[in-house]
Structure 1
Amino acid sequence: MDRFLSLKLRTQMMIMILLMAIGSMGVILYSAERQREADFREAAHLSLSLATAVHNDQNVLLSGAEQLLSTLSYVEAVRKRDAAEVNRILAGLLKKSPQISNLLMIAPDGTIWASAVPMAKPINAAERRYFKAALQSGRFSSGEYTIGKVLSKPALSFGYPILDENGKVQDVAVAAFTLTNYEKLLDSRNLPRNTSLLLLDHKGTVLFSNKPRELVGKQDRPDLFAAMKKEDLGSFSAKDINGIQKVMAYHQVYLKGESEPYMYVRAGIDKEWVDKKSSLPLMANISAMAAIVLLTALMALYISKRAILDKVRALREGTQKISAGDLTVRVNDNVAGGELGELGAAFDSMAQQLSVDIERRKRAEAEALAKGEELDRYFNNSLDLLCIADTSGCFRRLNPAWETALGFPLDRLVGQNFLEMVHPDDVAATADAVAVLERNGEIRSFTNRFLHADGSYRSIEWHSVRPDGNIIFGAARDVTDKILAEEEKLQLERQLLHMQKLESLGVLAGGIAHDFNNILMAIMGNAELALMRIDKDSPAVDNLQKIEQASTRAADLARQMLAYSGKGRFVVGNTDLNRLLQEMLHMLELSVSKSAIVRLDLHPSLLQIEADATQIRQVVMNLVINASEALGDGRGFISIKTLSLKCDRSYLKKAWLDVDVPEGDYVCLEVTDTGCGMDSATRSKIFDPFFTTKFTGRGLGMAATLGIVRGHRGAIIVESEPNQGSCFRVLFPAAGSAAELSEAPCSQENWRGHGTLLLVDDEEAVRCIASEMLQQLGFDLLTASDGRTAIELFSANPGIGVVLLDLTMPQMDGERCLVELQKIRPDVKVVMSSGYTEYEVTQKLRGKQLAGFIQKPYKLSALVEALRPIA
């Protein structure tokens, strides 16, 4: 560059003109290339526009053909296969549809029984693709390139299935197209000469070609056909079948319901047309540029002397005088007009401008001082935490908001290394963030915990920048409350999701237990009747007793499943939890490990609870056995404690699935052990059904415990850490009144019934065994498998005294059947039977005046107890 500037001005101008010419030539060549690319895009656009027009025209044509064939399917003559009449109709339609070459009607065996064009002999089209596709899919289907059997000309046919009243294909209506009409479409468009148009079927067979027409029926080149399969539409440059380089565009044509295109449309424009279109502007531009460069050179020689060289000489002489200190010289007097004249005027005002600049600099320094004071006021009054620190981690300046946030005075924080105040778990991440800040110059969002004066930690969210040097500017906010609120929300969402999962499993468990009870009914009943009828000395007695015992254990399992579902309460009343625990103490000591010591700590004035004592015993037993298993073979203590609590919402938030537990007075059962404890993963699954950490067991104990507690509108709080034991606090709503004990009715083994009894149950096994039991008791028996049959039998037999009615039945359940029976006879005696418990059934049928209830599976003795008071 220095060497260039040392040349004479005229030489520099000539070099610049030459460089300008070279640059202009580059621009022209670049523009020509861009124009050539634009011409290629135009050719591709024209090709794609033609392909799209054919695609759209074909879709309109097929839509009309499908509508025509659909209309034909409703013609009475077509339905009756009146060949003569249908031939006449098809011929008339063919005259009105010049784009269709033929219309056919084909029977399911492939025989063409009607044609718009007369057939010389019977023809079968069973092997045609459009026929087979229409039969298989039951919808409008496409064919492929074929030589028509009626016209003996190339055609593309489409089949439409005609369905009978049963939805089966009665016939296939066919429309055939020769596709020659696209010659007119091509001629009507203003396209370059030698533009080609091809239509191909799904196999690549040419259906239509304008140049040359001899390609019809031949296979397309595999590479060209493969290029059209990549996507629905596109363009590419390649040699066509005749070896001519073309810019091609294609469009796939689909039929509704078909996953592959039935036809491909490809249009092409010769590359030679593009090249000619691009070369003419290039030659014209080059010629014009040569003339301009020559004229510019001549003008530059003339202007350089008159407008530049003479004025520069005068300007140089005036500048030498000014540099010598003569500020009175006026250069502009010798250099008139133009930019050089402006330069002379600038020299004239230099001295005056220097004094103005000095004054302006003083003013700017004063303004900067004022702005600094404003920034200080903003820094000190901002509610955000603002700081200036160095990269070594020391605070250099802090605003007063830090004192409010952390509780330390500012003089204690300034000079402090902030890494010493960061929570130990966040030190490494904070150091990494400082490294990122040094490398990238900014950190937009980073959160760590800072020590507060009271010993706690506050979460601080940072936005820091490092413009240059070792200085860091930071802006932060205390987000502790925001993080705690988000964690609380997340915990609530997790609890709600878990509750929904347990609720769904509870519904499933209740349904399984209900059906299980029906099965056990047949097993237990048959075993009981067999024991009554068999000789007491028979060796089968022992087997029957074992069957009865196994059935009883299975019934206990079903009750556990009902308890988990929250539907397991039987007899609810005021219960003294202290008395219940004292009665169970001996049994609990026998149930736990020999190395475990059980301790009772009972509140002296404990409030009573409204509960089912039997299920509360199960809760206590499950918790104590779980505590014993946590102790393992080692020695340890199991503490059982009762107390009265007044629970507010903050305390109930700790409960397992506490969303529906209200505030108020609660009786607390606390079971604590000194065993192995649980980690967070085990605690989250402890109440899941079938979850167990033991090699044996079903995993239903704690799940049933949760179900019982939920059924009593209570809650469970679990506290446990590995190797630190576990504490289960079960909360039951307190009740005010004392427990009322009811005396159980005395059973009478020899009791006999009389009269007619109607047994209603949809389970055949239950009906069979219950019938035998009722006949054993002496009843005349009528049976019904559903509610409607029961109503008919009850209406036809006025002597029916008692109805033993199943609650859960299809079509008409027990509740609806009970209402209809009471309409017929309001004083009818109905004993309801169900696999669910009496509590659930009586709540469901409240106000329906039941005579009694018996829970499945039941024995003969339970049947006597239910029927004796009313039969």
Structure 2
Amino acid sequence: MAILLAMPAFALIIHSAVRQSRDSINEAIVDGKKLVYNIATEQYNLAGDAEQLLTILAQLPEIKSHNVAATNTILADILRKSPQYGNVVITDRTGEVWASGLPRNVSFSLKDSRTFQNALTTGRFSSGEYIVGRISARPTIGFGFPLLSEEGTVGGVIAVNINFHYVNELINHGGLPPNSSFSIIDYKGVIIDRNPSPEIFAGTRVEESAFLKMKNGPEEGSDTDSDSVEERHINIYRKLYLQTEKAPYLYIRASIPLQVAQLKAKKALIYNIAILTPFLLATVILVMLIGNYCFVRRINKLQEAAQTLAEEGLQVSVSTVVEGGELGNLALAFDEMARKLTIRELELVRNQEELNELNRSLMRRVEEETERRLKHERLLARHARLVAIGEMIGAIAHQWRQPLATLGATIQSIRMAWERRCIDDAFLENAEAEAQQQLYYMSDTIEDFRNFFNPEKVIEVFDLDENIQDVVQLVGAQFNASNVGLRVVNNLSGGRTKVRGYRNEFKQSVLNLVSNALDAINGHRQGGSGLVVIGLSEGAQSVVVEVKDNGCGIPKEYGDKVFEPYFTSKSEGKGTGIGLYMSRLIIEESMGGRLSFTSGPDGTVFRIELPRDESGEVEHNG
């Protein structure tokens, strides 16, 4: 509360300080503009006097006749009587100096100077740029005037430069704050003269951004920036023109330190603070005493009661400790809050017990559902395996039909030879060898099927093409018996690619797809030869196996149900509806791949995408 009471006084002090600071800055800008105006006026006067002087000199017969001795005497006399000029020189048309007000020991030329070139080109009084005098060795700026011959052509140039050392003494610099400065800058941004310290800054360039502000700004202006010493300055400038030129030839710039300009405002702020501080302190002390008596002690009691309420329980009464007034009403509100919190706490305990019981019930249901699903999936897998085994028994029958026929023919030939009494050792050996060969073939077939359905689930790196060939060998006899072609198109680089996963489960998935393709062709063939193509290809990070048939395709209404368990489009007794479901589980969940299909009137393509194995691990064959 004490701070709130003191706020208006602080606000008044701050407002007064801001206003005085703004007034101080405006006052400094006005003083700077006065200085810039005085310097500009002095420069305009110098330029006007120089133009009159050069105009008169151009008419003198001594100069027109190139009387060197007489001309040097005249020019030297002018410099003695007019110390505002640094030197006066006269050149011929080529720029060679033939007369000078200051003694010259060597000859020199002004042909490269802007003063000479502008006067020679325009034929009028012209300005120059920053130069260092050839004889005086002082930084200056010159003016040129054309020297006309009797034919009216420019035969030379009379040039005069300014003695800024003398000019500085004429400028009233006493009204500005300390550490202020002014600069005279040429049209390129080069400092010709600066007060103070002209010897340090003459010939240096003004900062590019500051010069562009003057060049692109109005005829006169002011701004605030910071220099390389990070001290903020108020800058005031003005452009100077010759009547015969459109562009400014000089910029006058005054710079006043912002901190110095605001010194008066800071002193006023300190004075106001010193005057008002005792009154503020007295007010604060008085408010603290009143507040302690009326509020602080009762608030402390209320705080102690609230602390007791938090530590000892919600049954503590606060209104018995603090009575009367607004704080008494607050104590009653505390008691009401404690009562409602007690009710809410009891409700929370009851709700928590109900929630715990619900969680226990949900956990039991989740466990039961999980167990049911696991049993269901195991049943599906067992069912799929039995179906695949049944299909394999059919494949074995096809595989054994030929060797059994051969064995039957061999036995028949032995009987016929016995009846004819033409059995000899060679005949028996040939018959035995042929029978053994067929038996070995049948034994190998059984071994292949046994390995195919090996229940071992071991993640291994295996050759994709080799396992596809195993599937082709297993179902080859069935395809031959059905007069359906089965072809493998290998587009893998090098013909072989390794993948990581479950070898036998992968072969079982491919077998399901190939068997479905055979069933689709046998069940819906409308003439012509059936064909199933197993294509192997590769992408950037994957390998692709496509099983394509030329059957009738899958109807659109079945597209979303193909991979659902127990769904089949085959006639009753010819399909279980779990083959594609299990194939998708194997490819996507067990091997991290993707199984999809596209279908049309010309057939169906099932596509398996598997990640390529880049580990370089050696293939396991056992």
Q: Calculate the TM-score normalised by the size of structure 1.
A: 0.31
Of the two structures, which has the highest relative contact order with CA contacts closer than 8 Å and spacing of 6 or more? 2
Indicate the structure (1 or 2) with the bigger Cα radius of gyration.
Answer: 2
Q: What TM-score, normalized by structure 2, do the two folds share?
A: 0.43
The structure that is helix-richer by fraction is: 2
